[in-house]
Amino acid sequence: MMTGTTPVLVLKEGTRRERGKGAQLNNIAAAKAVADAVRSSLGPRGMDKMLVDGMGDVVITNDGVTILKEIDIEHPAAKMLVEVAKTQDQEVGDGTTTAVILAGELLKKSEDMIDQNVHPTIIAGGYRIAADKSVEVLSKIAEKIDIKDKKQLREIAATAMISKSVGSHRDMLADIAVKAVTMVAEKTEDGRWSIDDDNIQITKKQGAGIADTELIPGIIVGKERVHPGMPRSVKKAKIALLDSAMEVKKTEIDAKIEITDPTQLQAFLNEEEKMLKGMVARVKKSGANVLFCQKGIDDLVQHYLSKEGIYTVRRVKKSDMEKLAKATGATIVSKIDELRRGDLGSAGEVYEKKIGDDEMTFVTGCRNPKAVSVLLRGGTEHVVDELDRSFEDAISVVGIAIEDGKMVTGGGSTATEIALALREYAASVGGREQIAIDAFADAIEVIPRTLAENAGMDPIDTLIDMRKEHKKGKKTFGVNVLEGKLSDMMKENVIEPIRVGTQAIQSATDAAVMILRIDDVIASKGTGASMPGGPGGEDDDY
């Protein structure tokens, strides 16, 4: 371009742009800040965070994904680490803090390599190779586990809850989690196990204590019976599930009925009553003594149902109806005229019980139910919420352990084993990628190092001792944070499903590589994305 020529403006006025190393280092700094926010909550000695939102609502937790969801993060690169935690939570249910810390550490190590002029693409390539090798190492050191290994499954559930505030009740909760998961487990055509967490209904109620948490071999419906004249309890229940209204139907088109004689009005009312009575007669004829209806029920129908002694609940949620069908073996019927004896399900007892301020219907004693309920209790709302998060983690890890059939030890033992294998492997890889593989090995050791830090142990001495033990072939040695020393994690029963580690490594690597490959950040006016030069970017006037 000739001197004095007017510059061509491509971007809109107010757009902020940052390129090259500056953009990369800014993104890395933001991601590291997110990782540091959750770092102190890792492990049994990790601390909790109190999060207060704009409305003043308080959440107290040390669950990585909950912390990151509650924090209002603006920086686009930092948001990617929140996505890592969310993915880990959806796929595995546990290990969210581990995944975020690992992603942050990978980016921290890449910062040093960028300063040494190693190209980000080389770093990304090395990280990918290292991640694949890490997953391979995990598979080699994994032990088999089966749905019949109830003791091991309980230890997996207890390990997931040991770092939570409900850790003192972990044995009792782990037992409930294993029972619930094994009850809803179903075999697929290829002979593998499949577990759908949605078939475990979790109902949380403030009051009583955590020790009062119980497993219901059936379903809890958060509704009361529709008429006080109905029995409060029905033994040997025959259950009908209906997803249509028990009311007089309105016509599809606008219609007007002209009545010219008082007797016609009475005949009209009699016919309406006859229709409603017919609905109740149909339910009675099927042999049902309990009825769950997804839609509304007319007052007159309620009266006749109570006279027949049929326990009835209306406006039941669709998800609860589906769970009731799985638990009782009933078929959901769309037309009341089609209700037959063969559509009914069965339960040992259906009864109404007051929990806290709410009347609830319990469907219990189901034979071989494929949907169950867990009633969680706790002294305060915050305790119940944290108990809910911990218990969901427990059922998730038990489920994936059964599905995958493999488990590994915790306490940073697998991380140390992977780091040793990667350092040996790096020497056999040609080119600059071996620098990145070595960096990956150093980064993955952030897990035992952080566990040691949070437990008040010396992180450097701990790492040196860990490497020494693993060099001797003690593959299951890890950080025993409760006793402040190294010990055999298999003997200590600190175990987790293999998917916790593989998913954390893969998602952390993906996020780190994606952030590394960005060398140009273009932020439109009003995005609020923080860039160097102040909270609003280089020009705070915009």
Question: Is 364 an active-site residue?
Answer: no
- Residue 177 in tokens: 């989690």
Cα(51)–Cα(66) distance, integer angstroms: 10
Cα(68)–Cα(103) distance, integer angstroms: 14
What are the DSSP calls for 53-64, one per residue?
A: -TT--EEEE--H
Cα(242)–Cα(521) distance, integer angstroms: 56
Residue 136's H or E segment, with its range, is helix 120-141
Which of 87, 96, 98, 328 is catalytic? The answer is 96
Question: 64-99 burial, b for 16+ CB within 10 Å, e for fewer?
Answer: bbbbbbbeebebbbbebbbebbbbbbebbbbbbbbb
Q: Are strands 58-61 and 219-221 parallel, antiparallel or unpaired?
A: unpaired
Angle at 360 between CA 379 and CA 158, to 5 degrees: 45
Give the residue among 254, 122, 537, 205 at the shortest CA–CA distance from 385. Answer: 205
What are the DSSP calls for 101-117, one per residue?
A: HHHHHHHHHHHHHHHTT
- Residue 210 in tokens: 């955590």
Residue 237's H or E segment, with its range, is strand 233-242
Residue 252's H or E segment, with its range, is none
Q: What's phi and psi for 508, nearest 5 deg?
A: -65, -40
Which of 61, 97, 312, 502 is catalytic? The answer is 97
DSSP helix/strand/coil, 481: coil
- Residue 382 in tokens: 């915050």
Cα(502)–Cα(99) distance, integer angstroms: 10
Beta strands in 300-447 (DSSP E): 311-313, 332-333, 345-355, 358-364, 372-378, 406-409
- Residue 9 in tokens: 């403006």
Question: Is 393 an active-site residue?
Answer: yes
Which of 89, 320, 343, 393 is catalytic? The answer is 393
Q: What are all long-range contacts of 272-278, with beta carbons under 8 Å and residues at least 24 apart?
A: 272/248, 273/300, 275/248, 276/246, 276/247, 276/248, 276/300, 276/301, 276/304, 277/304
- Alpha carbon of 515 to those of 6, 123, 270, 518, 534: distances in Å? 35, 12, 73, 6, 21
Give the residue among 22, 81, 14 at the shortest CA–CA distance from 519. Answer: 22
Question: Is 540 an active-site residue?
Answer: no
Contact 273, 294 (CB under 8 A): no
What are the DSSP calls for 310-322, one per residue?
A: -EEE-S--HHHHH
Question: Is 312 an active-site residue?
Answer: no
Which of 61, 63, 416, 450 is catalytic? The answer is 63
Catalytic residues: 63, 96-97, 393
